[in-house]
Structure 1
Amino acid sequence: MSIKGKAKEAAGYVKEEAYENGDSPESQRKAQEGRDLRNEGRIEDGKPPKTGKPGTEN
Structure 2
Amino acid sequence: MIKVKLFDQEHEKDLEMEMNKFLEKIDEKKLVDIKYNIAALQEDDEEQIYCFSSMIIYKS
Shared fold (TM-score greater than 0.5)?
no
TM-score by structure 2 length? 0.37
Q: Which structure: greater strand fraction?
A: 2
Bigger relative contact order, structure 1 or 2 (CA pairs below 8 A, ≥6 apart): 2
Q: Which has the larger radius of gyration?
A: 2
Q: Which structure: greater helix fraction?
A: 1
